[in-house]
């Protein structure tokens, strides 16, 4: 009876796992974006200053016409682990912006930006942003690279914990920028929508924002869509996680400390217990 019961339980467990594997993929209509190589991936990852500067240039000349980035200050451009602007360069950037403020008499005024100012929104308020963009306000870009992702599915999400794959957001953003293709013949595109291969459901409100050659790079990097999309995605990752470099560097120090501590504790424990084993 015992053996029979064992077999039955085993068979049940096996059947359960087979059904689980055969279950259909989730109904989400999302194409996985291609994996890119990022300088900031992995345990020793760092942002590439030149790439962040190019990405900022794209943000400044293209994205910022519609997208705010209100969590960041101009001073952040000169922070360690970022695009590597000097303080003077960041100040120069700030002074190009007009910031709404009050003057000494309490009258509304536009003054040039300072390092401590946040990047101003391109629209006066959310309703204005909606009205100017066909009813959908363009999302703020401060946390965008962490707010976008795609489902990795089993078993890949398990491996991701070991390989430290945390770049779903920038991969997705780069893919979206390259994902504007002609819709399949049977696809009904709603009015005001644009077809995008990588957008969930494929209908995105944002028109193709970038074209090859649109932004001039001073460092000789290719002015292609591939390059643009990667650079701006990297910049957005920095905007969303400006302490990434500091985090990974601290993490390495903490890991070394913990591993040495664990080793010492292991041998101490062994010595203490040797008397009673």
List of residues contacting other proteins (CB under 8 A): 2, 5-6, 9, 12-13, 16, 19-20, 23-24, 26-28, 43, 71-72, 76, 139-140, 142-144, 146-149, 154, 160-161, 164, 166, 168-169, 200, 240, 242-243, 246-248, 250-252, 254-255, 258-259, 261-262, 265-266, 268-269, 272-273, 276
Cβ 169 to other proteins, closest distance in Å?
7
Give the count of beta carbons closer than 10 Å to the beta carbon of residue 113: 21
- Using alpha carbons, select from 30, 60, 53, 45 the residue that is nearest to residue 179: 30
- Using alpha carbons, select from 147, 202, 201, 213 the residue that is nearest to residue 180: 202
* Closer of 9 and 212 to other proteins (Cβ): 9
What values do phi and psi take at 197, rounded to 5? -55, -35
* Closer of 59 and 238 to other proteins (Cβ): 238
* Closer of 171 and 225 to other proteins (Cβ): 171
- Using alpha carbons, select from 5, 28, 29, 9 the residue that is nearest to residue 17: 9
What values do phi and psi take at 77, rounded to 5? -60, -25
Q: What is the DSSP string of 177-230?
A: HH---PPPTT--PPTT-EE-TTSTTSEESS-----TTSS--TT----SHHHHHH
* Closer of 81 and 113 to other proteins (Cβ): 81
Cβ 137 to other proteins, closest distance in Å?
10
CA separation for the pair 136, 26 (Å, rounded): 27
* Closer of 166 and 215 to other proteins (Cβ): 166
Cβ 227 to other proteins, closest distance in Å?
25
CA separation for the pair 140, 148 (Å, rounded): 12
Cβ 63 to other proteins, closest distance in Å?
17
Give the count of beta carbons closer than 10 Å to the beta carbon of residue 233: 27
CA separation for the pair 182, 193 (Å, rounded): 12
Residue 60 CA to chain centroid, in angstroms?
18
Cβ 31 to other proteins, closest distance in Å?
15
Cβ 265 to other proteins, closest distance in Å?
4
Q: What is the DSSP letter of 89?
A: H
Give the count of beta carbons closer than 10 Å to the beta carbon of residue 45: 18
* Closer of 220 and 273 to other proteins (Cβ): 273
Cβ 158 to other proteins, closest distance in Å?
11
* Closer of 54 and 248 to other proteins (Cβ): 248
């Amino acid at each position: 009876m015992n053996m029979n019961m064992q077999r039955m339980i085993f068979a049940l467990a096996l059947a359960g796992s087979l059904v689980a594997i055969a279950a259909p993929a989730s109904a989400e209509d999302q194409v996985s974006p291609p994996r890119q190589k990022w300088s900031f991936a992995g345990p020793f990852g760092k942002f590439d200053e030149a790439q962040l500067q190019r990405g900022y240039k794209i943000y400044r000349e293209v994205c910022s016409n519609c997208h705010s980035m209100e969590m960041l200050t101009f001073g952040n451009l000169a922070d360690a682990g970022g695009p590597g602007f000097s303080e003077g360069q960041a100040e120069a950037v700030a002074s190009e912006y007009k910031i709404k403020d009050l003057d000494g008499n309490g009258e509304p005024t536009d003054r040039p930006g300072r390092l401590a100012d946040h990047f101003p929104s391109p629209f006066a308020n959310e309703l204005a942003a909606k009205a100017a963009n066909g009813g959908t306000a363009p999302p703020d870009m401060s946390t965008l690279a962490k707010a976008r992702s795609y489902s990795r599915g089993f078993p890949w999400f398990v491996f991701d914990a070991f390989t430290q794959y945390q770049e779903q957001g920038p991969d997705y953003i780069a893919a979206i920028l390259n994902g504007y293709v002609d819709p399949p013949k049977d696809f009904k595109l709603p009015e005001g929508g644009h077809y995008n291969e990588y957008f969930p459901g494929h209908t995105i409100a944002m028109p193709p924002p970038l074209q090859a050659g649109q932004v001039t790079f001073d460092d000789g990097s290719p002015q292609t869509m591939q390059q643009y999309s990667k650079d701006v995605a990297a910049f957005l990752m920095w905007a969303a996680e400006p302490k990434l470099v500091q985090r990974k560097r601290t993490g390495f120090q903490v890991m070394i400390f913990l591993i040495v501590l664990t080793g010492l504790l292991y041998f101490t424990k062994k010595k203490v217990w040797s008397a009673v084993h």
